[in-house]
Structures are given as C-alpha cells and as structure tokens.
Structure 1
Amino acid sequence: MRVVIVLFALCTSFQLVNCLLPPSFQWKVIDFSWDESAREAAISTGAYVPENNMPAGIARWKNKLFITIPRWKKGVPASLNYININGNQTQALNPYPSWEDAFVSNKACCVASNKTVVSAFRVQVDKCDRLWVVDNGVADMSSGVKQIAPPAILIFDLNTDQLLHRYEFKDEELRDSSVLTSVVVELVGKNCDAFAYIPDMGSNALLVFSLSKDDAWRVECPFFHFDPLSNVYRVGGIEFFWNDGVSSAVLSPSKKSGHRDLYFHPTSSTKQFRISTRLLKDKYVPKEYIFSGAEVVGERGLLSQATATDFDPLNNVIFYAQIDQEGTLWILSNRQSRFLYDSMDNNEVNFRILSAPTSKLIQGTACEKMSTMDRAFSLIKRPKSKC
C-alpha cells in the first residue's frame, strides 16, 4: 500500500477557511476541575501556577480528549488530563486516571502510586482501547530538573481506567540527556500484543518496547540526529535554537510480511525517513543493518520543521499534526516559543484546539483520494502531480 505524505502547513489560506472548524476549545490559562477550596490551597503552596501550564499533546478516545501538560516549569498539578468532547470551549481539565493518582506537588519526592504520570508530551490510543503514555518522570525541566520517578511506559485500559502495565526503563536503555517525546504502537497477532516505539529526542535514539517480553532496547542511527542547517527557529518574532533529534514517528499499514514501515523525523530537520519494523523488533540486530535499512523518503522544504505526526488510514496520508481513529485531524496551538523564551499575556487566548475532517483538508491537493472515474477525468484536465 502506497503511503503519501502531505505537510498540513501547505494548505492555502482559502483551504484553511473552508476546511477548519472554529476552535473546538480555547483557554487563556489552563485550569483544572478542583474540589471545593483545593484550587486556592494549591496556588498558595505553589502546587498550581496557572501561567506555568502549557498543553503539548492531544489524543481522542470516544468522548474523551486527552491533553498532556509536560512539567516544563513548577506548578503543574497533573500532566495527564482529559476533557469532554461535547463540553464547553473553556472547560476545566480532569486529571487522569484520578486526582489522587495524577496530582504531583512541586515539593514531591516520588509518585503517589504506580498510576501516576509525572511528565508526558504525547500519548497514543490503540485499537484495543488502551492509552499508552511515556512518562519522563521529571519536573521543572526549564531550570533545575528534578527526577521524581524513573522514565516509564504506562498502559491504561480506557474502558475501566485501570492501569494494565507499567514498565520502568533500565539505565542502559537511557542516557543523561534522554527526553522521551511520544509513542507509536504496533499491534501484532490477535491478542492485542504490541511493540511500542518511543523517540528519545534528547539523546538521538529510538526505544523499542515489547509488551509480551516486557523488555525494551535502544536503537541508534545517524538519521535520528538533528540537522545543523535546520536548528534555527524564528516564531512570533522570537529566535531560538533547538538541537532536537528524532521526536515523532508513525507506522504505515501492515504489509504481507507482517511488518510495517516506521516513518520518523527529527524535530530540527526538514527531511523524512523510514525503516522497517522488522529490524527494530530484533533486539540483537547489528547496528550496520539499522543504518543500511533506514532511508530518506524525501525533503519537505525550507521552514518545515515539525514535532507531532500521525497517519490517516482513511486517505493514506501522513499529517504533521494529530489524528483520531475516525478521520478527524486535531491541531493544538500553544505559543510554545513565548512560553519558553518570553512571556504570554494571560488576558488573551493562548491555547487553542481545532479540528477538521482529513478528507476535507486534502481536497484540491495531490493527496486527495479520488474515485477511479474522477482520477481518469483529472488526467485529461490537468497534468499528473506527486504528493
């Protein structure tokens, strides 16, 4: 099956107006569903600093939209949260799986339970109704990093909100600079067995986790490193430098071999790469096989650095944003450059979540899914174009 790639930012202004819905949710500052006087108490103790909460990742399951808040700064009560898809635009966030499990104070030395997520960037929902979370286990990343718990994978049953499994990474699988940014899950067999692929943006590696073996291993490759020609950013009048390596990955549809292609890219890069999961699933594969097995798919073009990525199986398209299992693209705008390097005006809307059907977003582009008759007709009217 052919996988075509489209960069969402290439949508024209006309297409955006017609494709994107008004913001589904928006906030000036992020707030939580506090109990009674708990909010005031959290502010007084520094456990909640409203302006220090910036959403980074989203994932949908039925009527829940999960929102992650990494602990960049002090005062983040809960890193893993959710809101109701049918709720109001500015609704408060609900810590997941519960307040008791999710809450971490700024003075915490350790996690409250094995269900606690200290700091997560992006999460994934699989087809077995499970939520996969990669926890970095650290707080206050922008100043004095505080390790509250070992980096770990947590898997939740979304039907019961119970923790199914927790795996803590071993020292040999990590480096001092490790930052685990996302997770993509490949289901294998018929019993919801799975492999998870976790980009380590900070130390330029990919971690592979086998659920059935309850084991993980580290994969290194030069293609996981940042491009020194693409590490300068200018966003909203702010210039900054990121040496971020591989930060996001997505899987192609299954092949006859039973394996898939893992498409990946470093944040500070404009190139797209891929490698067969056949190589990644082998803990003892020689390093030279990894290097020779990875390949450059193509060049996205100038100023096309991206973090998140997801695959839309309905249209066979990769988007540089996040998607649910129903063909809806979800876009999170969070003013990250201002949050990290400047300041934000809390009287303005700073965070927005927008959504749109993927089929509408690709209309009029080379990636549009057309019927056989439409495709034949288009060959007469216009020259072929490549996605």
Structure 2
Amino acid sequence: MNLTTTDNMSPEALREALIAQVKHAGYARSRTVEDALRAVERHHYVPDVELTVAYANDIVVTKRSADGEVLSCASQPGIVALLLDQLRPQRGDRVLEIGAGTGYNAALLAHLVGEHGHVTAIDVDADIVDFAGERLAAAGIGNAEVVLGDGACGHEPGAPYDGVIASVGAYGIPASWLSQLAPAGRLVIPLRIRGSVSRSIAFERDADGGWRSAEHAMCGFVPLRGGIADDPRGRIDLTGDNSVALQTHQDYPFAAERLTGVLDQPRSEMWTGVTFARRESLEWMYLWLTCALPGALRSMPVEQTAIDSGRVTPMFRTGMAVPGDGELAYLAKRPGGYDSEGHELTETGVIGHGPNGGELAARVADEIRTWDRNFRRRSVRFEIPADRVDDSDPTCGRFFLDRPHHPITVIWH
C-alpha cells in the first residue's frame, strides 16, 4: 500500500494516512484501538521531529547510548497497535505499562480505559520518566501516571491490574508481572524466545495454575535494561571490518574470538528442497530452528558491500545464522521453481563456514526439512508452566526453554 505524505499535510491528515497503513498491515483490528490512534496526537510526544516523521509507521529514536545503541524510542505505531489489540483493554481497567518511552503508549491506553480507568507507566531512567510525565500532563491526561523504578518489579501500589503490557522486549518473565495481575488479567509481552527470535504473546491463566498464550505474533522491541530482568545484547564482528556481524544474547555465551574471521574459512552449501511462496512468512521456520538447535538462530546484520563482493550470500540484508564452536551456518536462498498456479517459489539453503561448517550446515538443513515435513502445517502455543519440569520432546514438537524467573514451553500442536 503506497500512501504518499507531504510536509504541507495537516496533523489530522497525516494521522489518517498512518491509520490506513497500520490497518492495511493487519493491526488496529478493533475499532477502539483505531479510535485511540485517531484521538492521540503522536507528534505531541515526539516534538523534536518533523510531522511526517512523527506520523511515519516507524520508530522515532529518543535516546541512545554512547556507542549508538537505541535505549528508548517512540515505538512503531503498527506494533503499538498490535500490542493493544492483544491486551484488549476495557473501560475502567487498571493497566501497568513496563517502559514509559515518550508517554505515547500510556496516552493511547488512557484513552482506551477511559476516565474511570487508570494507567501506570514505569521506567528505569529518570529523564524518560520526567519527559513522558510532562508530555502527558501537557496533553491534559489525568488518568495516567509515570513512575520511576525497575519495571521488572512491577508497581505493587497500583495492583491488582487488569492488564500488564510491556513496551520493551524481555527474556525473563518476572514473577511480579504475573502476581500483580487480577485473576482474569492478561499479560502482553514482546518475549525473546531464544537467540534473536521474538514474539509478542498475550498470556492468560489456565486451569492448572500456569499460563497459556491466547494469541501471539512476530515482533521485536528495545530490550528491558537496568534492572533484575535486563536482557543485554552484543555483537561479534565476523569480518574485522564490521561488514558482517552476529548478534549475541545472554542465553548462549560463546567465545567471540573463535568466530572472528570464520567467513574466510572454506564454504559448504546445503540446499533443502523446502520452498516458500513470495510474501510467505518464514517466522515459523525461524521459531523451529531457534528452539531445535543448540546455538539457536541469531540475527546477522550484513552491509551491502559484503554481499556485492560475494563474501556472504544471505537470504536478506539482516541475515539469520546459527553459531557453533568456531563454525557458523547461515540461511540462504535461490530460485525454487513455480507452484501449480505458476507462482514463483524460493528454495531455502544453508551456507556453512569453519572447521565443521559443513556438518553444522547439514544439521540446520535437516531441521528445516523436519519442520517442513512434520510441523509446517501445525499451530504453535506458548505456555508458562506452573513448575520447572523439563518435558521437552522435539519429535512431538515440544520444547521446554528454561530462563530466569519463569521457563516457557513452546508446543506445535
């Protein structure tokens, strides 16, 4: 969908164009969320950017670290709408938001819960708290507050909440987020499953004392930081010039020096015979690989110069790779023929480098074929089990993933 916006458009017109883009992408499914996007002026919460930037369906970075890492931003409106769709706030609800950002999300929530509801947003940085609080006050929003604290601890004075929504990415699921919810409350969290694969999941209580996903969708967020459940990220320079890097996370520590220069080692190609139609999402294959492989699936950002030189041939500019102990395997693609209706297909392959790069590539290719043969047409459910019993059974599509605070189980069913 191509909607051209110009600098001479009014905020109202720009807002309508944004809403059209968000809805075309499949978000803002409920009329109430659409109405909230229409009622809240996003440019009020990002006053230092042009109107066309404020109303683009993209993030607006508001704070970076000294090395350029994004610490806070106004989230992409489409993803904001996704989380609100999942939370389903009602008039009169009490909602806790983890991560205050610019105050924009809190303003949307305040509109959704109405004057008899209440929103509490919590953030670890005083400057973010002050800015978000000032923006909300300037907009005359009286049913939302911004407090300073570790979001992983929740905010007990306002509990119980009808909804807890995290506007930051998380790896652990703190007990406070669950214990501070009302019995019928819903938790919405952009959860990093494993490696670089994340999904926004709406959890509800189930009958056995655990929690079960009511709905979920692929997404990513700036990670929780500065508290008991922060989720630091790092990068390994694979080439010495940062033209190809590998994202690292706390759940799989490995020696970076064993991967630097790995792409200069002999290359092995494995082609799977598994094909995808144009615009078909690879998210379920990614999820399977990150659960099934010891190294998980990691983001591999690539500069165009590395592709043009033939140094790497990833599926996309942000490639996906599986690290080993000194070897690396990344996903690739090539033309895969046509389906019965004449639509173009793409075949998935795996490129391996390193002393055992061929073996690792073969393992990844085998898992892709297993997913395609046995699990591609199944649904996926996420659970927070009531205990820490490892009941993994990959042959049945069940993976128990331990982590800080609460484990999760991923089930193809």
Larger Rg belongs to: 2
TM-score in same-fold range (> 0.5): no
Q: Higher helix share goes to which structure?
A: 2
TM-score, structure 1 length as denominator? 0.29
TM-score, structure 2 length as denominator? 0.28
